[in-house]
Amino acid sequence: MIDVKSIQERKKLRLAILEELYNHHFFSPSQNNCLIVKTNELYGERNSEKHLAYHYLVTSGYIHLDISGDSSVVSITAKGIDYVESNYE
């Protein structure tokens, strides 16, 4: 059976990630629209809810993720921006 509450929580997590990247894209004080973080700080354990959320957002084309060594560079795509903005129209 599908756990509707879990689905809602996953959608909220994905939207929160997109909103953070959206704000970083448009309002970053450094004019750098990419988020640069340690990979393990980005999503924690492999196959955690946060890791799965990032995987979904990448494969859906909402974000771009580049992993190099232990660092990750994450940015929102045009499709991700449109998705965030459509939630507030």
Q: Residue 65: is its pLDDT beyond 90?
A: yes
Q: Tokens standing for 30?
A: 């450094």
Predicted model pTM: 0.91
CATH architecture assigned to 4-86: Orthogonal Bundle (1.10)
pLDDT at 32: 77
Q: Residue 24: is its pLDDT beyond 80?
A: yes
Q: Residue 66: is its pLDDT beyond 90?
A: yes
Q: Tokens standing for 20?
A: 């953070």
Query: What mean pLDDT is predicted for residues 3-20?
Result: 96
B/e letters for 42-69, b = 16+ CB within 10 Å, e = fewer, are bbeeeeeebeebbeebeeeebbebeeee
pLDDT at 40: 87
Query: What mean pLDDT is predicted for residues 4-32?
Result: 91
